[in-house]
Structure 1
């Protein structure tokens, strides 16, 4: 065990000391923060300023936290100048023919709809007609957080794809580098094969976990700073914890596969070809997870969330996009744990028997069938 921890420590120190680690992490953080803030930055203004000339304020009801500020002008010319200078978003000009709304270019669609509705309501009340608001009552599932859950799920797909795909690749490249340079032969004099393999997987897993935690913290921090966190669904702590657990399971499975397949070759140029089955599985998992972010209750998403290794990406996305019963998550997790244990044992056997065989590519069936 001490040997495995020593190898893990070496892998962690080697990775976190490189410029590439910090540059890659910084780029990912900027990307996630940008995606998080995009709805706030490009979703239109939260407040409008409207000028008044010979007109009264309207009872405008905006969506969400939209606020209306009113400014009174003495004449139309002054109001026109204020609109063109950008001091007000629009100006309401009263007259015998009714009220005209002036704007610099096409009026903001949201503001136009609010003014039309408020003006209509004012006319109805002036005619002495009493109106009562509609009482909205949902008798189905709670859909208040549906849009937020969907947006979070799409972001999660991107995060898991970058980390679950990228980190096992590092394991594969490390295995081939040690085998091709024959350093592995020297290392085996100090540690056992399972300790070297386990330490490499553990160490690079910690590096991937650091990336995940930093990215999640950056995304959540941006959401709280921008006020978007008020739309978070209940149980966010459980969702975040689940993401971390599913990343660990997915990484462990694919890292074991990467190590086993990479031990079959001795040159870096051959890594891409030998890892083709794994990369195809990863991309298929990504595709299903992307679909699950949009249709979390579909039959495809439900079935895939139970099938390892697809479940490592699909289930956390599905549980984020829609409320999922705890027993389904636990069952999926148990199946994934079994799959990880089986793959780790299989990968350890392949690695131990193939990593010392340099030269031509080793066939997997030869390694598995040998004693």
Structure 2
């Protein structure tokens, strides 16, 4: 089959996959819940969280200055203890007596509520002006990791549709008119386009949600990372989608699908667990940002925390793209060698030999 015919067949299969999914209520309900969760995560803490800001006070002058303030005041023995409380984020800021006045100490941004509570605007010392707070960092890591894992797990639909086509013998009709490799390409392209559409909507909705929640400063920090996260997520999804397709082609019944999904599940959930567990280890995060299966989470997180340069992101994306090409080529042969197999699970070695 020539290139034009292959492209036409791929487009036909992709349109079929997209059409079948956009007609499913579950698809829209799931995506709608994801959007609702995004806005809830950004807005609800502002609406219901609030509470009083916690502040450490050092010296009687500081305690007197905060006496009438609507703040949760915690007395600290000296400035060193106050700075420790600020760095550990046990308090939002510290007010330290200095001569006849006071000085405010904060982590990365001037504490507007604390400064406003004082009668005169005091000088503000920032311990780490470029530092991203640990709480914010963990929230961003969780958001990136959860979105990647959800879309990665969504690729299981490719495996389910593949084994359903085998079980109902529809695949025999499909391969009579469409080359097997075009069938695989169409499935990957169709689901990748669905993913791109959803990711673009999320990328547009995220800044809106952050603004509604009053997180403009966080938006300025996270916006570049979101811009990088989109291509990383798309490439990462294609990488997993090819593997999900092989997992579906390797078995003949839905009941057997679990036996072929173990590796793909590990490579989908593993990066989430690894990044969450090692997020405080700069060396480990640097390594994870160049491993294809975890780069989609680790590199945007490092960019957000200002721990990586743009050239590192380009290099990481290049490594991921190269891995996608290699895995898709391998998956095409395995898919071709296992799709028409019936009567149980086919081993990878047998599928490889039959896919020549």
Measured against the shorter chain, the TM-score band is: 0.7 to 0.9
The two structures have a TM-score, normalised by structure 2, of 0.75
Contact 1:249 1:340 in 2 (8 A): yes
Residue equivalent to 2:100 = 130
2:258 paired residue among 258, 272, 295: 272
2:43 paired residue among 34, 37, 42: 37
Secondary structure (helix, strand or coil) at the match of 2:130 reads coil
The answer for unaligned runs of 5 or more in structure 2 is 1-6, 54-63, 76-94, 105-122
- Once the two structures are superposed, the pairs formed by residues 52-67 of structure 1 within 5 Å of their partners are none
Residues 273-303 of structure 1 show CA distances to partners (whole Å, capped at 9, x for unaligned) of 10111112222111012235x42x5222211
Shift of residue 145 of structure 1?
A: 6.3
Residues 323-364 of structure 1 show CA distances to partners (whole Å, capped at 9, x for unaligned) of 411222122111111111110000000111110111221111
1:303 paired residue among 287, 294, 318: 287
Which one has a bigger Cα radius of gyration? 1
Instruction: Count residues with an aligned counterpart.
Output: 301
The answer for unaligned runs of 5 or more in structure 1 is 48-57, 63-67, 69-107, 115-120
Shift of residue 211 of structure 1?
A: 2.6
**Shift in CA distance, 368/199, structure 1 to aligned 2, threshold 3 Å:** same
**Shift in CA distance, 140/112, structure 1 to aligned 2, threshold 3 Å:** closer
**Shift in CA distance, 59/138, structure 1 to aligned 2, threshold 3 Å:** closer
Deviates further, 151-160 or 272-281: 151-160
Please tell me whether residue 318 in structure 1 is matched to residue 296 in structure 2. no
Contact 1:150 1:320 in 2 (8 A): no
Residues 165-191 of structure 1 show CA distances to partners (whole Å, capped at 9, x for unaligned) of 22x101111111112222122112222
- Once the two structures are superposed, the pairs formed by residues 1-371 of structure 1 within 5 Å of their partners are 1-44=7-50, 110=71, 130-131=100-101, 133=103, 135-136=123-124, 142-143=130-131, 147-166=135-154, 168-234=155-221, 236-292=222-278, 294-295=279-280, 298-370=282-354, 371=356
Residue equivalent to 1:76 = none
Cα distance in 2 for partners of 1:221, 1:61 equals: 38
Contact 1:289 1:317 in 2 (8 A): no
Cα distance in 2 for partners of 1:252, 1:153 equals: 21
Contact 1:149 1:233 in 2 (8 A): no
Cα distance in 1 for partners of 2:67, 2:151 equals: 44
**Shift in CA distance, 132/282, structure 1 to aligned 2, threshold 3 Å:** closer
Cα distance in 2 for partners of 1:364, 1:189 equals: 24
Contact 1:265 1:361 in 2 (8 A): yes
Cα distance in 2 for partners of 1:232, 1:189 equals: 52
Higher relative helix content: 2
Greater RCO (Cα-Cα under 8 Å, separation 6 or more): 1
Contact 1:177 1:268 in 2 (8 A): yes
